[in-house]
Amino acid sequence: MDSTLSTLKNQIQQKLNGIHSHEPIHYNQQLAHVLDEQNIPIQAKLACLAIDTSMSHLDSISGNNLSKNAILIGDLISAHFYTLTAEINDSAYLEAMSSAIIKVNEFKTSLHYKQLDREKIKDAILYIETIFPTITIQHFKPQSDLSGITESLTVYAAENHPAYLKEYSETELNQIFEEMNSNIKQSRGN
């Protein structure tokens, strides 16, 4: 069986047929790994990874003078997310994910304009990095323990600072992620 990541890459590549030069698409490999470990429908895994990829792709191009194709590719991946959710045919899941997309965009705007205090920055990052898999996994497997997932996704973000945090210095981000991961470990009792 193909991994979620390789399946999504193949699907996106098919949709990009005819677009020969474009900026690279960055996929969250840790999120793909987390999703692969879940016993949930493949379409849900793909939808979760697709919306994360789309939003990350669009974050990485904002403010840069990249090609129009870069924006179109981000939109194409987003459209693929909606195609996948239509195949799932679960309005409660789509509604939860759509609400989360709105909230993620609100948090990213607040982070961009540095409108949040230190605690709210940590809360925003935690939400952004974990909400899509949290909704997806809990919706399709309600009794799942997400504590290890939260930690693995925030550790990945700490090692691969997301583009939406470009307004913050490396030092600030390292401190923020160190505090976040310490808080997560404390909440788990480690």
Domains of the chain are 4-188 (1.20.120.1450)
C-beta pairs of 179-184 under 8 Å, 24+ apart in sequence = 179/118, 179/122, 180/122, 180/125, 180/126, 180/154, 181/151, 181/154, 181/155, 183/122, 184/147, 184/150, 184/151, 184/154
Q: Is the pLDDT of residue 189 over 90?
A: no
- In this prediction, residue 62 carries a pLDDT of 62
| Confidence tier at 1 by pLDDT (50, 70, 90) | low
The average pLDDT across 40-63 equals 93
Q: Which residues contact 115 (CB under 8 A, 6 or more apart)?
A: none
| The two three-digit tokens of residue 139, written as one number | 């919706």
As a whole-number percent, the residues of the chain with pLDDT over 90 amount to: 83
CA distance 83 to 78: 9
User: What is the tens place of the pLDDT at every residue in 68-90?
Assistant: 788 889 999 999 999 999 999 99
CA distance 70 to 139: 32
User: What is the tens place of the pLDDT at every residue in 28-48?
Assistant: 999 999 999 999 999 999 999
As a whole-number percent, the residues of the chain with pLDDT over 70 amount to: 96
Indicate the SS3 state at residue 100: helix
- In this prediction, residue 63 carries a pLDDT of 56
CA distance 111 to 123: 11
| Confidence tier at 22 by pLDDT (50, 70, 90) | confident
With beta carbons less than 8 A apart as the criterion, state whether 149 and 133 touch. yes
- In this prediction, residue 97 carries a pLDDT of 99
